[in-house]
Structure formats: C-alpha cells, structure tokens
Amino acid sequence: MKQKLILTLAALAAAVFAACAGPGSDPVGGNRNNNTGKMSGNTMNANTNASMPSNTNTGDGNPMVGGAAMLKTKDIIDNAANSKDHTTLVAAVKAAGLVDTLKGAGPFTVFAPVNAAFEKLPAGTVDGLLKPESKAALTKILTYHVVPGKQDAATIAKAIEDGKGKATFKTVAGGTLTAAMEGPSVVLTDEKGGKSRVTTADVMQSNGVIHVIDSVLMPK
C-alpha cells in the first residue's frame, strides 16, 4: 500500500512539473533555445535584438561611431547624422550646402573630425564659419577633409610604405594631406603643419569610407 502511494505521488508530481514547464522547456538549463539565441546572434528573438543588435544592426562588421551603428548600406551623410560625436560636422556640411554632394555616388574618403576636434579651434571660429557669409571658407575647409576614391586603411598604409614613410593625398579642395605612421596610428599633417590622428578607421559606407579623426585639418 505504501509503495503504491509513493508511485501515485511521483506520477502526480511529474504531471504538475510538465504542465508548469510547458512545451519547448528544458528542466535542467531553462529555455535552452533562448540561451542559444543570445550567444549566436543569428537566432535571437525580437527582445534579444532590442538589447543586443545583430551583425546587420551593428553595421555589418562596421565599428560603432558616436554610439550609433554605421550601416554599409547607408551613405556618408546618413551615417554621420546618427553619430553623437559628429553633430558639429553635420551642421557644417549642411551650412556649406554639401549634403547632396556627399550623398552622391562617389566614392569618397572622408576624414571626419569629432565634435571635440572643432572645440580645439580658437573660440568663435566654428560660429563664424557657420555664418552665411563664411560659406566659401567653410566649404574649402570641409572639402579639404575629402579625398576622391575609397582609400581604406590598407590602401593608406601601403601608400605610406611605398613612399618610405610618407604618402600624400590630393583632396577635393585641391590641397594635399600627408599621411604617416606614428606607432600604430595613421597621422595626417595638413598644409599648415597641424596634425590629426585617425582614431577609428574603415567605417565603410555605401558611397565610400569614413576615417574618424581627432583634429580639424586646415588648408592654406
């Protein structure tokens, strides 16, 4: 009688456990499908995607810039507009009327100064450049940061190597930039002798590539 009672209680407990667990559950490790989704990145559900973007949402291999995903399917302007570190640059591009140009087919290589780079300039410089009467000067400075073609990090490094430590690049503004290696970093020297370091390279765009830099480059 005692053995029969034990068997009955065991069967009842098993039935209750199965009902609580529900279909697809793992009584040992929890919902193993969900855990796999979080680790693989390819089988994540909607909730996981919201907190941990997939490869496509993080730019398909692109680095994050200014806390935002940089998508290879978007152009230079659309990606830069999402970066919280490039609000000054985007405002300057709009003031100079260069939006349509940098949304064009290109390809372009853009050395994109962060907000802190503009803050290094003398007080009042940025405000002055953003005025309508300064449009020509602003356009010259901005296009000095643009090189025709898609010059990725490997191309720039090879040019530096072939140039025995230095490489020059013609900008859309007509001036030249000189690139060299300082330790592991590419450093650009402008026509006034100012230097800017590439802090994030190879942010690929649908119409070229962006390299983030820490100082504004100035033409003659």
Residues 109 and 164 both lie in one domain: yes
Residue 37 has pLDDT above 70, yes or no: no
Q: What confidence score (pLDDT) does residue 61 get?
A: 84
Q: How far apart are CA 178 and CA 168, in angstroms?
A: 4
User: How many folded domains does the chain comprise?
Assistant: 2
**Domain range for 22:** 2-51
Q: Which two tokens mark 122?
A: 């003398």
What letter does residue 62 receive in the DSSP assignment? Answer: P
pLDDT band of 42, cuts 50, 70, 90: very low
Is 180 among the domain residues? yes
- The Cβ of residue 164 has, within 10 Å, a number of other Cβ atoms equal to 7
Higher pLDDT, 189 or 50: 189
**Whole-angstrom distance, CA of residue 135 vs CA of residue 113:** 18
Q: How many other CB atoms are there within 10 angstroms of residue 96's CB atom? A: 21
Q: Quick: pLDDT tens for 78-116.
A: 999 999 999 999 999 999 999 999 999 889 999 999 999
Give me the pLDDT at residue 19, please: 39
Mean pLDDT score of the chain: 79
Q: Which of 219, 109, 117 is nearest to 174 (CA)?
A: 219
Q: How many CB atoms lie within 10 A of CB 119?
A: 13
60 domain-assigned: no
**Residue 85 forms part of a structural domain:** yes
- Give residue 195's Cα distance to chain centre: 22
Reported confidence tier of residue 52, pLDDT bands at 50, 70, 90: very low
CATH of the domain at 205: 2.30.180.10
**Residue 181 confidence (pLDDT):** 94
* pLDDT at residue 11, as a whole number: 43
Residue 204 is assigned to a structural domain of this protein:
yes
Residue 70 lies in a domain: no
